[in-house]
């Protein structure tokens, strides 16, 4: 029987004497409390789990000690994201507290359940538990218990952006007999809420008071947190005070982290744990159960694991991420089969860095935390320090803001000092300089520089950066520099790195030298940019530029080019040198970034290639336009935006017809894609029961995938002449101006305009076979532009009424009107303009044939998709949450028009949708009428609300929707918020539109903001009336039908509505209900309130009865609606129709 992984059975301390079970539990709880206070959940969990079973047998009397154990187990499993286990323990704790009638403890358990639901993205459930927690605390009485419950509920509301948090903090501070420490905690958190609500002065005062109190109490860690908060809330209001607070926080956390280092844990006890793991490995391979002798089988697996780890690390350094991923996954499988738990953290740390580099940031976080926790449990200081360093780098990219980057840097620094101490002592004994020795070649210093610079602690920042430069300069100058880490190591971002678990460096001397030069170039580049941003004439700059450019002779790697050219272009920009030479530097930087992106290939994740240098596309585009180089500017613009969409959409399958070469290419592509996906799967290898088969499968893939990719390259050579578009599509290459013109020529007069918001607002125009670029807004006209963007961000009902009359908006859409061709009209927004209704004309009318595109390069994909003949018919579904009456009406009318049957209510599930899209007779059109959910803070949590189990709503997330095959399916989403999105760096959109386009949908009809239910039903009814079913799948027909329906909404009078209602009512129950409601709205608009109330009641009665009603009564109503008041237009306001737009190019 295999011994469990150390993370599940290791704990601190030596063996205990024979004592009672109750006493063992008390000691475990006391120890776990100390561990949790230090954030050591991975150590506290097994300690408590090993002793709690004895107290869960029938007949054991509940005690508060058992309660505490379950509550802490809930806390541990919540932090480990094992949410079901956390719920179990908190519910056990609540049951014990309830049985003991301990209301305060019950409140704490309920609070724990609320925190679990919050962490598991169930905010509604979290609110319910928090409110119950407060109720129990109130029943217990005023005091610290109620203050804690109020504060924790307030913290949740603060995170959700709910202003009610402030009142809860005030009530918490008003509780009697609060301990000074508790009052300081609440005061500090209240300061953060005040800052969120915009009261900076009060926020700064609260955080300052809390910090002073913590220092007075001797609570260094809490003082650090308060000073860090003070630095954040003070930034932008009192820069000097903010920087001073940051420096104080910096000093405190470094002291705290150093004091927490247990050298025995990382020394003697670590070596003992490794021996135990290695002894256990031999027990797994008894000589009588295997074909090979154990020594040979273990040796082969170990050698394979070590070789693949070292190969993966070298590939990682070279930016060959797909190959590195494959090698590291093989190493992971080999070590897992050996249950070599002491070697897995090194692999995980490297994989974490790989995912961070390639933009799979959530996966990187999970993998690095896993490496960090396992390494900490073992006492492997080197790997833990490396994982902490990489996590600190990840935090600089906006991930997991609830964690402190400064704290991670300090904890990594404390471990680095422990690791380096023997070497420093040795150097000192030889009389050589020792104090500044850094075996990580200054990686942590480089991260600390960025952190300090952002905080405004400029002197501290420069000290760190200069020290990191000195450290790596020593390595560059030396023949045999001190070994850095090979695993994730001083790396492509120079913001992370760790050393391998055994301290070895697998790379040869040439690779070492290239890596040191790479690091030196990056850091010199950062120093040049840092100095020139403050003073472009700084006297040190010429010497630094000379040092940097001299490194060109060392290597011609794209990384080195990127750093050098980026520094030179930044320096020219700071000096406002708008010349061809500056443009050459800018373009060279972008070209180098493109090359790195090409090398990364398959491995790119959802956030794209991550590098601490953001390629200066915007500056290059602006300067190219100024220099009258519009084609180059446009090519750079397409390279700068929606690249992850192009990467995703290239995997979508297309009809290959009877072309055998295309058929072979499609087969090879699919096989390689499946293998890459198989490599990326992440089983929990520490618990996997079938590690041997995974090891074997990864080895098989490693033998197969290379030859298959070589065959694809050969096929692409064959296709390059006649099918260049397919090859460019597979390579996700952006289009240039000539290719866009050629694509539009094939669309019978189609035009395209693309915005770019840089120093000025530019418009690239492709109209009637000509291409040009004009400046719409100059650098001095930005005030009106930003004023317009504020209106776009306003969710008020009248926001678009104001927008459609705003002078800047009118100037933009008038430019579009001037460019309209004779056919389809594509509009490609940029940045915040993705949220604007650019499909409308300057006079407010919907512009016929207008389609929104996230990137002009999607035109190529659309041409390939049009060759496909897959799919027939339509599927209609709606009202899955049973609260959208008119969604059912809309679906019934749409289904009748499309010749199908609507699916409504609880049958509209994710499983139904998945089955629909995977069926042999898959549809060409899918219409969904439901609620859409958009999370502005975390767009990945957005999605559609469909029916779930037991008549509950289920949020179908973007990831779930992306897992379906939408290729060739025109998608109509009349869900509120279905077209909302966050605009991310690289002009990438995060939302439903981007997700479904990336999954193959050729076009979507969505809403840019919420639209009333009745308005949506009427608009969709008219849309399908206008849709020519003979050419329904053509995008021009779809956009034309939408524009016609929107025009009817905008111009129809109350009389027109009643006439339409009387004509449509005989169609059936759905049509009659909608007609009745429309008649009521017409009377309301005309001021005939009696008739309005009469028809509202009839609509209610029809809805309750579910019958078809009386069409004759509706027909007789038409004669009542002829006077002047019925010329009013009930749905003329833009909020009723303007938000609907067509996206895509299919």
- Summarised one tens digit per residue, pLDDT across range 60-107 is 788 888 888 889 899 888 887 788 889 999 999 999 999 999 998 999
In-domain check, residue 962: yes
Mean pLDDT of 1052-1081: 85
**Distance between CA atoms of residues 224 and 221, nearest Å:** 5
Same domain, 377 and 255: no
Same domain, 803 and 902: no
Q: Two tokens at 902? A: 């609507």
Nearest 5 degrees, angle CA 1118-CA 1121-CA 1122? Answer: 110
Regarding beta strands 988-991 and 981-984, do their DSSP bridges make them parallel or antiparallel, or are they unpaired? Answer: antiparallel
Same domain, 456 and 368: yes
pLDDT at res. 953: 78
Which range marks the domain in which residue 843 is found?
737-860
Mean pLDDT of 1014-1032: 86
- For residue 1132, report the phi and psi dihedrals to the nearest 5 degrees: -70, -30
With a cut of 60, say whether residue 127 has pLDDT above it.
Answer: yes
Mean pLDDT of 668-685: 74
Q: How confident is the model at residue 987 (pLDDT cuts 50, 70, 90)?
A: low
Same domain, 706 and 778: no
**Distance between CA atoms of residues 999 and 476, nearest Å:** 47
Report H helices in 431-552. Answer: 443-455, 458-477, 509-534, 541-549
pLDDT at res. 788: 93
pLDDT at res. 291: 60
Structural domain count, the chain: 6
With a cut of 70, say whether residue 340 has pLDDT above it.
Answer: yes
pLDDT at res. 380: 95
With a cut of 70, say whether residue 262 has pLDDT above it.
Answer: yes
Find the helix or strand (DSSP H, E) in which 918 lies.
helix 910-918
Q: pLDDT tens-digit profile of 884-933?
A: 878 888 898 899 888 999 999 999 999 999 999 988 888 989 999 988 87
In-domain check, residue 591: yes
Q: pLDDT tens-digit profile of 160-174?
A: 889 999 999 999 999
CB count within 10 Å of CB 259 equals 10
pLDDT at res. 496: 39
Q: pLDDT tens-digit profile of 746-789?
A: 877 789 999 999 889 999 999 988 999 999 999 888 889 999 99
Lowest mean pLDDT among 126-140, 377-391, 651-665, 1118-1132: 651-665
Q: Two tokens at 537? A: 């004439």
pLDDT at res. 15: 42
Task: Using a pLDDT cut of 90, give the percent of the chain over it.
Answer: 42
Q: Which one has a higher pLDDT value, 688 or 861?
A: 861
CB count within 10 Å of CB 100 equals 16
pLDDT at res. 252: 97
With a cut of 90, say whether residue 199 has pLDDT above it.
Answer: yes
Q: Domain of 401: which CATH number?
A: 1.25.40.10
Q: pLDDT tens-digit profile of 38-62?
A: 667 767 888 888 777 766 666 678 8
Q: Domain of 886: which CATH number?
A: 3.40.50
Whole-prediction pTM:
0.80
Task: Using a pLDDT cut of 70, give the percent of the chain over it.
Answer: 87
With a cut of 60, say whether residue 867 has pLDDT above it.
Answer: no
Q: How confident is the model at residue 828 (pLDDT cuts 50, 70, 90)?
A: very high
pLDDT at res. 254: 96
In-domain check, residue 273: yes
Q: pLDDT tens-digit profile of 1077-1100?
A: 999 999 999 999 988 999 889 888
In-domain check, residue 914: yes
> Cβ contacts of residue 271 below 8 Å, gap of 6+?
none
Same domain, 872 and 851: no
Q: Which one has a higher pLDDT value, 1 or 433?
A: 433
With a cut of 80, say whether residue 121 has pLDDT above it.
Answer: no
Same domain, 1020 and 1068: no
Instruction: List the beta bridge partners of residue 496.
Output: none
Instruction: List the beta bridge partners of residue 943.
Output: 933, 957
Same domain, 695 and 837: no
Lowest mean pLDDT among 772-781, 902-911, 959-968, 1127-1136: 959-968
Same domain, 856 and 880: no
**Distance between CA atoms of residues 754 and 825, nearest Å:** 11
Q: Which one has a higher pLDDT value, 717 or 226?
A: 226
Of 981, 1009, 1026, which residue sits at a domain end?
A: 1026
- For residue 713, report the phi and psi dihedrals to the nearest 5 degrees: -60, -40
Residue carrying structure tokens 């203050």: 147
In-domain check, residue 708: yes
pLDDT at res. 511: 63
In-domain check, residue 127: no
Q: Two tokens at 556? A: 């011609």
Of 730, 748, 783, which residue sits at a domain end?
A: 730
Rounded to a whole number of angstroms, the distance between the first and last alpha carbons of the chain is 58
Q: How confident is the model at residue 1141 (pLDDT cuts 50, 70, 90)?
A: very high
Q: pLDDT tens-digit profile of 610-619?
A: 665 788 999 9
Mean pLDDT of 961-966: 86
With a cut of 70, say whether residue 280 has pLDDT above it.
Answer: yes
Of 1008, 1026, 1044, which residue sits at a domain end?
A: 1026
Same domain, 309 and 243: no
Q: pLDDT tens-digit profile of 566-597?
A: 999 999 999 999 999 999 999 999 999 888 88
With a cut of 80, say whether residue 961 has pLDDT above it.
Answer: yes
pLDDT at res. 574: 92
Q: pLDDT tens-digit profile of 1036-1051?
A: 788 889 999 999 999 9
> Cβ contacts of residue 390 below 8 Å, gap of 6+?
349, 352, 353, 356, 364, 368, 488, 496, 497, 498
Same domain, 221 and 329: no
With a cut of 50, say whether residue 845 has pLDDT above it.
Answer: yes
Name the E strands within 871-984.
874-878, 903-904, 925-929, 931-933, 943-947, 953-957, 970-973, 981-984
Q: How confident is the model at residue 563 (pLDDT cuts 50, 70, 90)?
A: very high
Same domain, 754 and 775: yes
In-domain check, residue 449: yes
pLDDT at res. 501: 31
Average pLDDT, the chain: 84
In-domain check, residue 932: yes
Find the helix or strand (DSSP H, E) in which 1132 lies.
none
Same domain, 1006 and 891: yes
**Distance between CA atoms of residues 251 and 726, nearest Å:** 57
Q: Domain of 780: which CATH number?
A: 3.30.420
Report H helices in 100-199. Answer: 103-119, 123-140, 144-159, 164-173, 180-196
Lowest mean pLDDT among 387-391, 583-587, 955-959, 1023-1027: 955-959
């Amino acid at each position: 029987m295999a011994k469990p992984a150390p993370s599940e059975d290791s704990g601190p301390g030596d063996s205990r004497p024979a004592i009672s079970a109750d006493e063992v539990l008390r000691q475990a709880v006391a120890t776990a409390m100390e561990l949790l206070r230090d954030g050591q959940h991975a150590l506290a969990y097994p300690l408590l789990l090993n002793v709690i079973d004895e107290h869960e047998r029938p007949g054991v009397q509940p005690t508060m000690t058992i309660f505490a154990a379950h509550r802490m187990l809930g806390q541990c499993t919540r932090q480990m994201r094992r949410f079901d286990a956390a719920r179990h323990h908190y519910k056990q704790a609540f049951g014990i507290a309830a049985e003991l009638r301990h209301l305060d403890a019950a409140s704490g358990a309920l609070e724990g359940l609320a925190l679990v639901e919050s962490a598991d993205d169930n905010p509604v459930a979290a609110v319910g538990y928090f409110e119950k927690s407060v109720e129990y605390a109130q029943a217990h009485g005023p005091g610290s218990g109620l203050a804690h419950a109020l504060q924790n509920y307030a913290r949740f509301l603060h995170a959700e952006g709910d202003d009610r948090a402030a009142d809860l903090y005030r009530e918490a501070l008003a509780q009697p007999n609060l301990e000074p420490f508790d009052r300081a905690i609440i005061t500090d958190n209240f300061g953060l809420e005040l800052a969120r609500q915009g009261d900076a002065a009060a926020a700064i005062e609260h955080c300052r008071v809390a910090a002073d109190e913590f220092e007075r109490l001797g609570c260094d860690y809490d003082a650090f947190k308060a000073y860090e908060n003070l630095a954040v809330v003070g930034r932008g209001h009192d820069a000097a005070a903010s920087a001073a607070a940051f420096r104080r926080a910096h000093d405190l956390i470094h002291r705290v982290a150093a004091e927490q280092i247990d050298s025995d844990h990382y020394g003697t006890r670590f070596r003992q744990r490794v021996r135990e793991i290695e002894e256990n490995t031999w027990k797994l391979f008894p000589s009588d159960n295997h074909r090979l002798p154990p020594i040979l089988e273990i040796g082969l697996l170990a050698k394979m694991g070590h070789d693949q780890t070292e190969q993966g690390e070298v590939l990682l350094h070279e930016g060959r991420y797909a190959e590195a991923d494959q090698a590291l996954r093989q190493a992971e499988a080999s070590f897992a089969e050996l249950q070599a738990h002491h070697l897995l953290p090194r692999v995980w740390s490297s994989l974490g860095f790989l995912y961070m580099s390639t933009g799979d940031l959530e996966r990187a976080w999970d993998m690095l935390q896993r490496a960090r926790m396992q390494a900490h449990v073992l006492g492997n200081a080197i790997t833990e320090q490396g994982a902490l360093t990489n996590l600190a780098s990840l935090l600089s990219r906006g991930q997991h803001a609830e964690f402190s980057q400064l704290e991670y840097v300090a904890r990594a620094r404390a471990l680095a000092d422990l690791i380096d101490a023997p070497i420093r002592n040795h150097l000192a004994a030889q009389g050589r300089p020792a104090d500044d020795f850094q075996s990580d070649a200054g990686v942590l210093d480089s991260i600390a520089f960025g952190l300090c610079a952002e905080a405004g602690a400029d002197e501290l920042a420069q000290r760190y950066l200069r020290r990191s430069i000195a450290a790596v300069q020593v390595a560059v100058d030396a023949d045999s520099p001190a070994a850095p880490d090979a695993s994730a190591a001083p790396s492509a971002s120079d913001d992370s790195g760790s050393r391998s678990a055994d301290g070895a460096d697998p790379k040869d001397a040439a690779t070492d030298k290239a890596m040191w030069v790479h690091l030196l170039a990056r850091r010199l580049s950062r120093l040049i940019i840092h100095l020139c941003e403050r003073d472009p004439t700084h006297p040190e700059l010429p010497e630094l530029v000379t040092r940097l450019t001299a490194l060109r002779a060392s290597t011609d790697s794209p990384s080195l080019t990127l750093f050098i050219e980026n520094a030179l272009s930044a320096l020219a920009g700071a000096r406002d040198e708008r010349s061809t030479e500056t443009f050459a530097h800018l373009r060279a930087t972008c070209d180098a970034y493109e090359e790195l992106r090409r090398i990364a290939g398959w491995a790119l994740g959802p956030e794209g290639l991550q590098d601490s240098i953001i390629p200066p596309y915007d500056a290059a585009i602006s300067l190219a336009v100024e220099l009258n180089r519009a084609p180059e500017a446009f090519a750079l613009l397409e390279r700068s935006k929606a690249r992850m969409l192009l990467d995703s959409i290239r995997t979508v399958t297309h009809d290959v017809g009877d072309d055998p070469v295309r058929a072979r290419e499609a087969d090879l592509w699919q096989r390689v894609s499946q293998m890459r996906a198989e490599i990326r799967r992440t089983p929990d290898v520490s618990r996997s029961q079938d590690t041997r088969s995974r090891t074997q499968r990864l080895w098989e893939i490693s033998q197969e995938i290379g030859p298959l990719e070589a065959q694809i390259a050969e096929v692409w050579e064959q296709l390059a002449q006649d099918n260049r578009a397919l090859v460019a599509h597979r390579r996700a290459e952006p289009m240039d101006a000539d290719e866009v013109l050629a694509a539009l020529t094939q669309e019978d007069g189609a035009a395209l305009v693309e915005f770019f918001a840089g120093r000025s607002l530019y418009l690239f125009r492709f109209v009637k076979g000509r291409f040009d670029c004009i400046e719409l807004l100059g650098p001095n006209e930005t005030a009106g532009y930003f004023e317009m963007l504020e209106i776009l961000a306003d969710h008020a009902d009248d926001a678009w009424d104001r927008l459609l009359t705003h002078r800047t908006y009118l100037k933009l859409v008038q430019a579009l009107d001037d460019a309209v061709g004779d056919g389809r009209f594509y509009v490609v927004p940029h940045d915040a303009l993705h949220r604007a209704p650019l499909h409308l004309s300057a006079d407010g009318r919907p512009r016929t044939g207008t389609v929104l595109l996230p990137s002009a390069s999607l035109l190529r994909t659309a041409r390939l998709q049009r060759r496909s003949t897959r799919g027939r018919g339509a599927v209609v579904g709606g009202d899955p949450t049973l609260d959208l009456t008119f969604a059912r009406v809309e679906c019934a009318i749409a289904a009748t028009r499309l010749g199908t049957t609507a699916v409504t209510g609880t049958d509209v599930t994710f499983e139904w949708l998945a089955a629909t899209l995977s069926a042999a007779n898959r549809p060409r059109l899918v219409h969904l009428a439901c609620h859409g959910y958009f999370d502005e803070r975390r767009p990945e949590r957005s999605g559609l609300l469909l029916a779930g189990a037991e008549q509950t709503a289920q949020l179908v997330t973007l990831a779930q929707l992306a897992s379906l095959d939408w290729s060739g399916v025109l998608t109509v989403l009349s869900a509120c918020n279905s077209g909302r999105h966050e605009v991310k760096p690289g002009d990438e959109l995060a939302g439903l539109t981007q997700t479904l386009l990336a999954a193959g949908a050729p076009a979507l009809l969505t809403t840019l903001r919420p639209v009333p239910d009745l308005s949506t039903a009427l608009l969709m009814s008219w849309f399908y009336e206008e849709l020519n079913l003979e050419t329904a799948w053509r995008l021009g027909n779809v956009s034309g039908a939408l524009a016609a329906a929107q025009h009817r909404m905008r111009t129809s009078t109350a009389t027109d509505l009643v006439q339409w209602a009387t004509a449509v009512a005989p169609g059936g129950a759905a049509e009659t209900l909608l007609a009745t409601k429309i008649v009521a709205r017409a009377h309301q608009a005309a001021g005939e309130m009696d008739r309005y109330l009469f028809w509202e009641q009839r609509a209610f009665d029809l809805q309750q009865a579910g019958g078809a009603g009386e069409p004759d009564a509706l027909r007789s109503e038409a004669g009542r609606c002829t006077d002047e008041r019925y010329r009013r237009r009930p749905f003329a306001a833009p909020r009723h129709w303007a938000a609907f737009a067509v996206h895509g190019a299919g």
